Structure 1
Amino acid sequence: MAVMTAVLQQVATDGWTRARDGLVGVFRRRRSATSDSVESELESARAALAEARRRNDDATADRLLADWSDRLLRNVLTDPDAEPELRALLTELAPGAVTFNGEVSAGSAIQAGEISTLNQHLHFHGPTATQRSAGPAAVPAGPAAQVAPAAPVAEHQLPLEEEPFENRDEQRAQVLRALDEHRESPLVRPLTVVISGVGGIGKTALAVRLAHELAPRFTGGSAYLDLDEWRTAGSVDADAILRHRLRRLGVAESWLPGEYRALVDLYKDRTRGARTVLVIDNAWSADEVTTLLPHSADALVLVTGQRRLPALEARGAIGLALGPLSHGHSSDVLRKIVTAVRPDESPRTMAALARLCDGFPAALRAVGTLLHEHPTRRTERLVADLTSQLHERGLPVVEAVWNTTYDELPAPAALLYRLLPQYPGYDITPEAAAALLGTGFDDAEDALGALVRAGLLEMSPTASPAHDGRFRLHGLLRAHATRCADRHGDPAETEEGLRRLLLWYRRQAERADRTIAAARLRQAEPVAELPYAPDLPFADEPEARSWLDAERKALYGWVRIAAGLGEDTHAWALCEPLWKHYEDQGNHDDAIRAFTIGRDAAQRCERPDALIRLRCQLAQALWFGGRAAEADTETEQAVRSAEAVVPGGGLHASALEFRGKFLAWRGEPDRAADCFRQSRDIHRALRPEPNAYGVLLQSFLLGRTLRAAGRLPEAETETQTALELAREQRHDRMIARSEAELGRIQRALGRPERAVAALERALELERRRGSTYDEAVLGEELAELAEESGDPRAAREYRARARELRVRAGAGAAPRTP
């Protein structure tokens, strides 16, 4: 879309003729249209775009640009010789080359970034040797240079393939045929393939193999998503998954909307027309998949699950039910696995061993790993042992092999294997394994290595450069480890391991939370350093936030486990660092479950201070989760408890603030204003000294709420007070917010000049702070004021900058209302 935006947005510039003629030349290369017809269509598109811009109809404008961009992309992809011609046109359209009555046009800021983006796109898809050696392109000057481009959409995040891979030729051919047929479909819907079958049959291996094989066809990238990583209490957190996918697609964190519907719309926007392949592993239902389908007919989605998904198949998905491998293919797999250590093994012995595996890739891999572990052990002996266990004890071969492997593990590795099924996270780090074992980091590293070599543990399929030392227990092996714990362990060792790891996780979460916000209100005493496992190094705030998000499944799980162990103090204390994660990620369902447990634990502990705090945290998750009546009860009880237990204290002020926020959200600004005023009074009266920031924040919230109530003179007074306090405290963020709020009040009072001045000051502050979302919101407001005052040129300039910021942030939709 970059080049079409750069060309069609020159509606009122001196460069239109050259831009139009250049595109006519590119389109004529395929002889699919005459010069006159293309020129006529471009002129019509130009006129339609101008009209859409005049009406502020971004949807129509985006659709026009998208239609022409698709046409242009097809030309470039099918005619490589068109690339030099397109590059020359882009150079001519560079910022400064396009003028309006001899001056640089307002649209040049947009062109700068978009032309740069397209140049990167062309470079990615096949630069010439000259282009590769020419060095980096010049960085555009002016406003476009002030905004970093969004991360590229073309992600490549597939797990490594498992070798050897054998057969499944029929299923692969079926997918290829379906792809060819899908190209002729008029529906805007990705080709979806559902691969079903029992555990260990090779569903994930086939999906990942297909994704790797077909990746060259999908220039928009490839991605892998294991829904088990996002599943808690049997359900997946759809909000959290969408946020994760949008981040991977290049949307800046501050631009991610808080509302589920807005996340869905933005995901549609970011995946519209994308040529991407997405693997969705371990799906339980069609509902879990539907929202994640790219909004594109040019995408491929490969879904795996133990059950068929008829609801998807009814809407055109291809169903592939996997069965066992044939004996011949099983023998081939086993031979490829063991050839390196047993090159002269008898084909008959290999065939006998393969038949015992009954065509299950998981069993074949387990047997092959065992033979690798014991290269001198006679294969005939293994066949006899497995046959005996199968016939005498009724054990499937994979169970028998894993039993044999477990029996030969060193003691620390066997203990770790028995403990791992109780671990609540998706994957585990060596530091966490050290805490679980309790005998030191070196023992944990050795135990993990032994389990990996034995084929009982694997590297996490979702490991990333930031989180690469993570290990995962496969679902089938988790069940086997549980049986080993029942047979060979005892409840005491499991409970001791869980208590050690619970304490370690709480300490790391508290350390991460303090790295993010050292002065935040907390009730729990921090956990002291532990002798049996090392602390994690949180170098800065982003690293701490990243760890909290990577460990979200474990951390929320530990709240539940702590309560189950009777460790109520740990249960509610863990909810304190989880509050920051919830604020960042908005995972309402997980937060409601955890904070409910924390609230009840604080009550059992007879910790009214913690109970008040947990009621407030729970209430916010409830009201944003659509459960207003329960939120009302929690905030009201929190305020009443604070009045009785800590009257006039900081916790009382905090409870009033939460109550006020809830009432403002529910549309009761007058009642909310009373809460904020009372909270401010408490902050002012605190001893030994007032809470200056608390007074500032409540003054700001009070002013904003009074504006919502239509009490504008009062709102102006309170917001002016907040602005003066923010300046005294040199709090740039609150200065900007107060200036912006003051501008909105002045606009509502019918004072446009004062409104523009205040909003301009706020915009400049947000620009200096690098807050692109707030800058864009303020730009849109200033554009409206410019239009109201009869200055369309200023309005266009404000909107051009706001639109540029949205493009850079990866958020194609208009900014949310402040």
Structure 2
Amino acid sequence: MADQPSTHNEIMAAITGDVVQAGTIHTVILRGQTEEAAPVPRQLPGAPRDFVGRGDHVAALDSLLATSSQNAATICVVAGTPGAGKTTLAVWWAHRVQRDFPDGTLFVNLRGFDREEPLPPSLVLTSFLQALGIARERIPLGLDAQSGMLRSFLAGRRVLMVLDNARNAEQVRPLLPGSTGCFVLVTSRLSLTGLAVTDAARSVALELFTPDEAERLIRDVVGGERVEREPEAVARLVDRCARLPLALRVAAGRLATRRLSITELVDEMGEGRARLRVLSSPPDDHSAVSTVFDWSYTRLPAEPARMFRRLGLHPDAEFSLHAAAAFGGFDVTEAHHQVEELVDAHLVEPVGHRRYRLHDLLHSYAARRAETDESPDSHVEALRNGLAWYARTALAADRLVFPGHPSLTVEVGPSDDEAPVADRSQAWAWLDTERMTLLSAMKAAHSRHLYEIAVALAGSMRCLAFQPRALWPIRLEAESMGLHAARAGNDPASEMALLRRRADTYQMLGLWDEASADLEEHAVRAATSGDRLLLGMALCGLGRSRKLQNRLDEAWDHFLRALPLVRGDRRAEAVVACNLSQIGVGLGRCREALEHARRELELRLGEGDVVGEGYALHDMAVAHQALGEDRSAVECAERAIALFRGAVASERYLAHALETAALSHARTGSRGRASRCRQEAAAILAQLGDLRAGALREVADGDASTHSRAGGEAPSPCQPA
């Protein structure tokens, strides 16, 4: 069968931004993020430095591991009161045994009892599947499909999974593997009896420390000599702390960092034993360990105390050093000093390079201290400053990830703070790391009527188009909330931009009626205001919906109507020309398609968008190819290939250009060049999880066989150096 002309109508958000996208968004892989073979995940936080005791509990876990079921995964729930050390035990034991799990260790804090919303299972599944090497675009959208994919992937593998801080059995159940070889360790304040009934989970109840364990912890933190000098005071300290591990660590941390005897500490703590009772139910956590927290907090110097209580305003228990500086009102250097002092006092836990976490009880306690110890004005100002820092940084990162594309123009206040993003790679990494914190910050801003901040944060969520489909509903939620904020804040420009973006998200999800409703509202408002460019953008969006549904005649009409309306805006006109070129090839209007592609290239040149230039050249190549002008097609395709090779996040574009070049090489008799182009394209598509990779490789092998019999030809620029 003769090779036929082809066109690829996929174009990602990095090309078209707010105006329109030319096809379905699947994924963007930044260079350095894909590997031939994914590394074995080892996601555990650092091993606790002062783990003591728990001999019976460790033995129980060891026994479960030794007698793991031969028919199903082993599931164990470590349940206990807040502050009892469930996470410490789970992480310490997991470090101890993870060598028995050669296929990886997965860890997640499910936020079951944090101040933030619990993590949805879909988000956790997406993260786990990516960590195990599943390409983003292969991860399905539905929870059941994601759960099934995880079970299928883990079949026959040995993986240790630590699910920390679970809210209920429903949050855990979709994450469970289904076959032998895996071990799941769950921690929760509740016993999660539902898992025992339906999933044969075993339970380990974590009680308070024994007096001996409590004394050993104090000895390990403050030193044996001091303990031996004041044995009675140690016993009183254990009693004051109710043998609760978290309380003991906080109190011992204070002793380790201050010139203070144990007796002085106990005397200063007072007799508040009744207030330090062990909690009998999770909702009562506000009264837990209050005496120890009060004592430790009130003896902090002024600046660390301010830092601590303002960390209670942070929307998430985990935070970066830059975020701490923003909420605390310090520069980054001073913030580092203050946070490290809180680490020494066991009030803050380091979790990575310049990243920290507050225990959920301490996070709630810090928030209450901010409410009581800050004046109403300073409390509101600190919260606004911190949330505004997130908004400014998110906008800066968004502009770097989408260079040259329209951004929201919302003002969230000037600042001299240091942004942790300097280039596109850093911006992408920051948005990826902070995506759930950004969502929490947006909700916090919205609930406090800080609408301009909520709008800015909603605008940064378009980066989720680069993430698996499972996360696209989060983008939809954010843009819907941002729209409400824009309307409440009387910001019509942002409202129109977010209407277009939400329509784009609806299209990504295949919700055509919802997308049309947003775009038609956009069109009506643009027509009423007399804004020709905005009306043209709405027509582009409607045309894109028709194009994605393969209603090409209707799509052609929409883009033709948009063309005179967007003239004068180079990017908008380039997008219209791009779509008319691609649709024209599909309709057999190939000469018109070529003219539109040439106009697209003319508009892209000089705009600093090399990916856009490459895309226009590729559109020209496809049009030449459809006209049977294969030598011109090769010339344009190879120019596009050269541009895509030097651009971040252009792997899929590169693969498509290589395929186009290969087809014209083959049709002009250059089978060796065609084979090399197709082999490279197949390798790229395989990394992206594209199912066409295998078929493309077979075609390449056929090219190579034909080329070998013909005696070969000169090397091609398609072949990478």
Match of 1:552 among 418, 431, 435: 435
Match of 2:409 among 524, 544, 547: 524
Partner residue, 1:721 = 595
Moved more, 534-543 or 352-361: 352-361
Provide the C-alpha distance between the structure 2 equivalents of 1:796 and 1:718, rounded to a whole number of angstroms.
31
Moved more, 411-420 or 295-304: 295-304
Query: For 1:521, what is the secondary structure of its paired residue?
Result: coil
Match of 1:162 among 42, 48, 65: 48
Provide the C-alpha distance between the structure 2 equivalents of 1:766 and 1:230, rounded to a whole number of angstroms.
51
Aligned CA distance change for structure 1 residues 231 and 816 (closer, same or farther; 3 Å): farther
Match of 1:198 among 59, 81, 97: 81
- Count of residue pairs the alignment pairs up: 646
Query: For 2:78, what is the secondary structure of its paired residue?
Result: strand
Shift of residue 315 of structure 1?
Answer: 2.4
* Gapped regions of structure 2 (runs ≥ 5): 1-31, 279-286, 697-721
Aligned CA distance change for structure 1 residues 702 and 192 (closer, same or farther; 3 Å): farther
Question: Matches of residues 730-809 of structure 1 in structure 2 within 5 Å?
Answer: 733=611, 762=637, 765-766=640-641, 769-770=644-645, 771-773=650-652, 804-805=683-684, 809=687
Provide the C-alpha distance between the structure 1 equivalents of 2:644 and 2:572, rounded to a whole number of angstroms.
22
Equivalent position amino acid for 2:324 in 1: A
Question: Matches of residues 166-185 of structure 1 in structure 2 within 5 Å?
Answer: 166-182=52-68, 184-185=70-71
Aligned CA distance change for structure 1 residues 343 and 326 (closer, same or farther; 3 Å): closer
Equivalent position amino acid for 2:598 in 1: E
CA contact (8 A) 2:44 2:91 kept: yes
Partner residue, 1:236 = 119
Q: 1:645-691, CA deviations, whole angstroms, 9 ceiling, x for partnerless residues?
A: 24312x3332322233334445655444333222233223x2xxxx3
Provide the C-alpha distance between the structure 2 equivalents of 1:817 and 1:436, rounded to a whole number of angstroms.
54
Question: Matches of residues 353-752 of structure 1 in structure 2 within 5 Å?
Answer: 353-379=237-263, 381-383=264-266, 386=269, 388-391=271-274, 398-438=289-329, 440-441=331-332, 443-459=334-350, 461=351, 463=352, 468-524=353-409, 529-531=414-416, 534-584=417-467, 587-625=471-509, 628-649=512-533, 651-665=534-548, 668-684=551-567, 686=568, 691-705=569-583, 712-714=587-589, 716-728=590-602, 729=604, 733=611
| RMSD value, Cα | 4.4
CA contact (8 A) 2:236 2:266 kept: yes
Query: For 1:676, what is the secondary structure of its paired residue?
Result: helix
Q: 1:754-786, CA deviations, whole angstroms, 9 ceiling, x for partnerless residues?
A: 899969975995587345445667889999999
Provide the C-alpha distance between the structure 2 equivalents of 1:754 and 1:557, rounded to a whole number of angstroms.
54
Query: For 2:226, what is the secondary structure of its paired residue?
Result: coil
Aligned CA distance change for structure 1 residues 484 and 502 (closer, same or farther; 3 Å): closer
- Does 1 or 2 have the higher relative contact order (CA < 8 Å, sep 6+)? 2
Q: 1:336-357, CA deviations, whole angstroms, 9 ceiling, x for partnerless residues?
A: 2332561523445434432443
Shift of residue 400 of structure 1?
Answer: 0.8
Provide the C-alpha distance between the structure 2 equivalents of 1:353 and 1:634, rounded to a whole number of angstroms.
63
The TM-score normalised by the length of structure 2 is 0.76
Moved more, 514-523 or 359-368: 514-523
The TM-score normalised by the length of structure 1 is 0.68
Aligned CA distance change for structure 1 residues 795 and 537 (closer, same or farther; 3 Å): closer
Provide the C-alpha distance between the structure 1 equivalents of 2:379 and 2:541, rounded to a whole number of angstroms.
40
Provide the C-alpha distance between the structure 2 equivalents of 1:566 and 1:180, rounded to a whole number of angstroms.
55
Partner residue, 1:89 = none
Shift of residue 420 of structure 1?
Answer: 2.0
Query: For 2:318, what is the secondary structure of its paired residue?
Result: coil
Shift of residue 406 of structure 1?
Answer: 0.9
Query: For 1:192, what is the secondary structure of its paired residue?
Result: strand
Provide the C-alpha distance between the structure 1 equivalents of 2:119 and 2:694, rounded to a whole number of angstroms.
26
Shift of residue 365 of structure 1?
Answer: 1.1
Q: 1:252-297, CA deviations, whole angstroms, 9 ceiling, x for partnerless residues?
A: 67x6668457866775676554433232222224444445446764
Aligned CA distance change for structure 1 residues 804 and 583 (closer, same or farther; 3 Å): closer
Partner residue, 2:210 = 326
Equivalent position amino acid for 2:357 in 1: R
Determine what percentage of the aligned residue pairs are the same residue: 24
Provide the C-alpha distance between the structure 2 equivalents of 1:817 and 1:293, rounded to a whole number of angstroms.
34
Partner residue, 1:305 = 188
Aligned CA distance change for structure 1 residues 522 and 482 (closer, same or farther; 3 Å): closer
Aligned CA distance change for structure 1 residues 614 and 249 (closer, same or farther; 3 Å): same
Provide the C-alpha distance between the structure 2 equivalents of 1:322 and 1:298, rounded to a whole number of angstroms.
25
Shift of residue 435 of structure 1?
Answer: 2.5
Partner residue, 2:283 = none
Provide the C-alpha distance between the structure 2 equivalents of 1:159 and 1:393, rounded to a whole number of angstroms.
29
Aligned CA distance change for structure 1 residues 210 and 440 (closer, same or farther; 3 Å): closer
Q: 1:603-637, CA deviations, whole angstroms, 9 ceiling, x for partnerless residues?
A: 23433222111112223334545655443322211
Provide the C-alpha distance between the structure 2 equivalents of 1:742 and 1:173, rounded to a whole number of angstroms.
69
* Gapped regions of structure 1 (runs ≥ 5): 1-145
Aligned CA distance change for structure 1 residues 548 and 393 (closer, same or farther; 3 Å): closer
CA contact (8 A) 1:356 1:397 kept: no
